[in-house]
Amino acid sequence: MSTPRPPEMLQPTAAAQARAAQALAEGGLVAFPTETVYGLGADAGNDRAVASIFEAKGRPHFNPLIVHVPDDGAAGRLVTVDERARHAMEMWWPGPLTLVLPRRPDAPLSLLVSAGLDTVAVRCPGHPVARALLAAAGRPVAAPSANRSGHVSPTTPLHVAEEFPDGAGGKLRLILAGGRCPIGLESTVLDLTGERPLLLRPGSVTREELEAVLGPVDRATAADGVKAPGMLTSHYAPALPVRLEAAAPEPDEAFLAFGPDQFIRGGRERLNLSPTGDLHEAAANLFAMLRALDKPGARGIAVMPVPETGLGAAINDRLRRAAAPR
């Protein structure tokens, strides 16, 4: 029996995109960049291929997947698009907003992408590599973040290779190496199946921005259940325990700072999400810096407070899940 090989890493040329599209058509997995994080993609209409995503990630089968589409017309063949969804698509697509909408009875999708629900999470990514892949594939692509379930999400192609050194048992055919993801946080997820919009996962499209277009938006609670990716209590977690709201690190802790920190002493190793307190810079750095600090030798990772305003709400959501009991 042959030993699975690491996935091939390719620059996203037209030839590489064609190979990636062929791999998807054959039921394989392909990792590719979006503006948020790297995705682990499969043909969303192929049951075996979608099952391979769950197997590769060790992902709970009750956690739905996001289906990536090239435009609102392609989304309309999968889900029912009402006026609110149309407004949201016009405003933020292509971009980092995922919409949870009623699944069309004739949608050519594996039932696994919905994890038993009668809804589908759909997104039109804005990253040029992701858009070229969707065009070459000519099919909707199911793609959660390209990491083991619960681990810190990948924002570079090397992160993906580290997560799947054996190519997920040979299922991950190749990685389209499109550089670092510019946003660095997963997409905002908005449920539009109820009377009022429900924010399932905060992201770079903020609640305030959504409410300016759609009116009042409720925030999901544990009672809403797992209706979209990223809603598990413990998620995006490093191997080391994470301590939040830390004014300073203990001597045996790594330290993740935010804002000016030159007078803070202690700790083993430190990184700063944004020395100037820029929340967009902090979001882009969050997952990469958590990965960099998650090394043997430290007892844990201490994290300075991050403001809860604007994009800070999404950053703090990821940090709280990283720090949750496992």
User: How confident is the chain (326 residues) per 10-residue block, as mean pLDDT?
Assistant: 78 98 97 98 94 83 87 98 98 98 95 88 98 98 93 95 92 96 96 96 96 95 60 69 96 96 91 94 89 94 94 87 85
Helix (H, G, I), strand (E, B) or coil at 215: coil
Same domain? 259 vs 183: no
Same domain? 202 vs 260: no
Is 232 inside a domain boundary?
no
- Beta-carbon contacts of residue 311 (< 8 Å; ≥ 6 apart): 185, 204, 206, 279, 280, 282, 283
**pLDDT in the model for residue 220:** 87
Same domain? 158 vs 303: no
Same domain? 197 vs 252: no
Same domain? 25 vs 174: yes
Same domain? 79 vs 212: yes
Annotated binding site for ATP: 59, 63, 119, 145, 153, 201, 236
Domain residue limits at 106: 8-224
Domain end, chosen from 224, 257, 283, is at 224
Q: How far apart are CA 151 and CA 132, in angstroms?
A: 27
Alpha helices in the chain (DSSP H): 14-25, 47-57, 72-76, 83-92, 128-137, 157-163, 207-214, 279-293, 312-323
**pLDDT in the model for residue 5:** 77
Report the number of distinct structural domains present in the chain: 2
Q: How far apart are CA 249 and CA 323, in angstroms?
A: 15
Annotated binding site for L-threonine: 36, 68, 123, 143, 187
Domain end, chosen from 192, 224, 256, is at 224
Same domain? 282 vs 316: yes
Same domain? 155 vs 66: yes
Same domain? 95 vs 140: yes
**pLDDT in the model for residue 231:** 52
Same domain? 53 vs 160: yes
**Prediction pTM value:** 0.84
Annotated binding site: 36, 59, 63, 68, 119, 123, 143, 145, 153, 187, 201, 236
Same domain? 127 vs 256: no
DSSP string, 216-273: --EE--GGG---STT-SSS-S--SS-EE-S-SS--TTEEEEE-S--TT----S-EEES
Distances 240 to 19, 95, 123, 237, 257 between C-alpha atoms, Å? 38, 32, 32, 8, 16
- Beta-carbon contacts of residue 58 (< 8 Å; ≥ 6 apart): 148, 149
Question: Residue written as tokens 């799947």?
Answer: 164
